[in-house]
Amino acid sequence: MKKLIIFAVLVMTVYMAVAQQNFYMVSFTDKNDTQFDPYSYFDAKAIARYEQCGADLYDISNYPLNENYVNAVNDYASDIYGESRWLNAIGIQATAENAHLISLLPFVKDIQQIETKGFMAQKEVLEEKTVTYISDKYFLTDQVRRFGGEYFAKNGIDGKGMRVCVMDGGFPSVDTHPAFKHLRDKNLIIATYNFPDKKEDVYGWSSHGTMVLSCIAGIDEQGKRLGLATGAEFLLARTEIEPEPFKEEIWWAQGAEWADKNGANVINSSLGYGKERYWTKDMNGQSYVAKAANMAVEKGILICNSAGNEGDDKHWMTIVTPSDAENVICVAGIEPSLDSYRHISFSSYGPSADKRRKPDVCAFGEALVASPNGSYTTAAGTSFASPLTAGFVTCAWQTRRDLTALQMKEEILKSCDLYPYYDYAFGYGVPQAAYFTNELVKPEKSFDIVQEKDGIFITLKEIIRGQYVFINVEGEDGVLVGYYQIDPDSYFKKYPGRKGILLKNKDLGQDKKVNVSYNGCYDSSPVSGNGDEINLFVDYKSSQNGTFKKVKAENWQSSIYFQYDYNIGTDVWDGFNRHFAFGWRKFYGKGYKVGFGLSLDFNRFVARDSIPSSTMYVDGGKTMIRNMQIRGELLQRVVNRWWGVNWDLGVYGGINLTRRVKVTENSGEPYGHKVNTVYRNCEAMNLFECGAKTRISYSVMGIINFGVYGGYRFTDIFTKDDALLGKPGENPSPWNIGLEIEFML
């Protein structure tokens, strides 16, 4: 009967989980019976952009959704939180049962549950600081000087005539901060919209957008530029709320459509969607936001997007979406230095899941930004590399207004200081303004590649302090199978007898090509040796001597845990008998995980009519059963990252390694002096045990989980009578409750 009750409880728990409201994206098959007039819908600048790039104003993607389809879905949904013309889809909230009914509607192409949590690609605010005037001819900060921003400044190029949309989580103090006074004075903020709250006010909420905007167009009180596009027009869109695990992807698509409608030329998105919902294999340009981003570029808009901040996460060695979209400029981060070229540790590495070359470019991953309190601060993250690049792109496009978005993207890549060299940390490098002002001077050749019997030698004509040698190994399909960043000064100190940097044939493999960049010069050479095949990528933390390190993208996660619980008492057996365990688990999945684990468990049961050791006056003895057990478990975990709560449900099985009875006889004197203690094996105890457990835990920063759990044992402890086991044949309660602490590895 008790087992039946347990089963009923578990069934009810699962039913409640299924009956809860979920979030879905519903895609329609067509837009039949809809009408559209682009000349009343689009801003004049949008129409001019369509005509300039040859896009079709009457493309079906611009038509509104079929209202009858939307209303029919609304009959089953508890809420509609957004519509996308481009995706021909709506975002809804509904039960799983109603979602199934929606999927049966004849005009519904697809319905997919959404469990995403977007994130802003910011690491942390490092320090508050007051900006002091530093003399500079063109009043530029290092973060824009790294682009050669002085070439734009002296030619009067500041993005004038261009329109930039910034999509973010809010823009507090942009309407008052001195860094944006020039935008307010010249009425350069053209339009604003808050998609979560469906209103125009965006001047609140997350400070992230304020800092991002300052990296595109900020000017401090002394006239020093934080970004390059200080003369551009701006559209400010709030598309994120924090935390929000479901809705941002359709808000992102709506934001891009709004930018298109209002004549944007450039979009900056310092946002990303990755491991909170997707697998690494999904970073292939096929997410909802990636599709929307590609459509925006086809309609003449260039998009800069942060690569992500997962460079330190060995389980996520790729970028995030929508930076994985083919047409998006994916921006990685480098250390903030004018003299050296180092990957900043957190910046995500490429390639995309389908091995396309991502990221595209890089910029400072730490920047001076406007703070909502009216001052300035430094902040880190690819969140700031992206808008710095967006400001550059805006100015560069001002010099080449006849180019389409895709043509302009190609020009941006060609302007980079490593081009045509490429790797998965830096992309093609940092774009350079001199390329667009026709003032770029290529240095003289700084190295030679020499083929020898043992391999390839790269001989440098001189060692330039702060300049690294970049080397990649490219396969026949264009996919990189390895890459180095070498500090020549350190290298030749380690290998003083070598005449050049040696790449051994055995490390390169067959049918490969070696590409080298040094001090602005590029060259390549085929590999003639017959080496062993490799599939390794560089670890930039230990790459000064050119060491390869294997890096593997994984979707597994491990943990170790400690449990302490009590067994519920019965008439025969004392209540709250102790159980202690420590173990290891391994999970596969994101929002929904499956896993297995192993643990070592220690149990103690005490008969109720025995005398606890704390009793002062005794006239009997104490009978205690102890056993040590090794257990295996299978479980499923549902993760709600919005609330930081995990729910586990699983089964376990164990084998008793020891089965011991301890009987202590007492003298009857004060303080329970022991007379005799007997230990013996308990043949009555079952060798095997199995049961089920459910657990609720709270996650702190995704690292430590504190949980409470309950368990039910399906098997008996004792399979036959034993005179020392209380009333012979009666088992302890199958129920137990306890606490757990789990450390995620």
* pLDDT > 70? residue 324: yes
pLDDT band for 226, please (50, 70, 90 cuts): very high
Does residue 458 surpass a pLDDT of 50? yes
The secondary structure of 591-625 as a DSSP string is SEEEEEEEEEEEEEEEBTTS--TT-SB-SSEEEEE
Mean pLDDT of the chain: 82
User: Is the pLDDT score of 532 beyond 60?
Assistant: no
Highest mean pLDDT among 3-7, 478-482, 536-540: 478-482
**Greater model confidence, 730 or 723:** 730
Phi and psi for 395 in degrees, rounded to 5?
Answer: -70, -40
| Model confidence pLDDT, tens digit, residues 334-383 | 999 887 888 998 999 999 999 999 999 999 999 999 999 999 999 999 99
Please give the pLDDT value at position 168. Answer: 94
Distance of alpha carbon 119 from its chain centroid, rounded? 7
Higher confidence at residue 140 or residue 264?
A: 264
For the segment 115-143, the average pLDDT, to the nearest whole number, is 51
Share of the chain above pLDDT 70, in %: 80
Q: Can you name the CATH fold of 22-113?
A: Alpha-Beta Plaits (3.30.70)
Quote the pTM value.
0.73
pLDDT digits (tens, 9 = 90+) for 392-413: 999 999 999 999 999 999 999 9
Is 613 or 581 the better-scoring residue by pLDDT?
A: 581
* Per-residue confidence (pLDDT) for residue 452, from 0 to 100: 77
Across the range 581-603, mean pLDDT stands at 84
Quickly name the fold that domain 556-744 has: Porin (2.40.160)
Helix (H, G, I), strand (E, B) or coil at 679: strand
Q: Domain residue spans in the chain?
A: 22-113, 119-399+407-435, 447-549, 556-744
pLDDT band at 435 (very low <50, low <70, confident <90, very high): very high
CATH of 119-399+407-435 among 3.40.50.1110, 3.40.50.200, 3.40.250.10, 3.30.460.80? 3.40.50.200
Instruction: Give the C-alpha distances (Å, rounded to integers) separating 508 from 39, 316, 487, 494.
Output: 58, 26, 20, 21
The yes-or-no verdict on residue 219 having pLDDT over 70 is: yes
3-class DSSP assignment, residue 558: strand
Among 92, 263, 81, 60, CA closest to 162: 263
- 282: three-class secondary structure by DSSP: helix
User: Among 250-264, 580-594, 620-634, which is the least confidently predicted range?
Assistant: 620-634
Indicate the range of 257-266, 293-302, 578-587 predicted with least confidence.
578-587
Q: What percent of the chain is predicted at pLDDT more than 90?
A: 46
Look at the block and give the residue holding tokens 């009343």: 40
Q: 729 pLDDT band (50/70/90 cuts)?
A: low
pLDDT of residue 509: 65
Residue 714, judged by CB atoms within 10 A of its CB (0-12, 13-18, 19+), counts as middle
Q: In 75-164, which residue ranges form alpha helices assigned H by DSSP?
A: 96-103, 142-145, 149-154
Rounded to an integer, the average pLDDT of 451-467 is 82
Q: Which position has the token pair 């890089």? A: 362
The one-letter amino acid code at 660 reads: R
For the record, the structure tokens of 567 come out as 């067994």
Does residue 574 or residue 555 have the better pLDDT? 574
Query: What stretch of H or E contains 506?
Result: helix 505-508
pLDDT of residue 194: 96
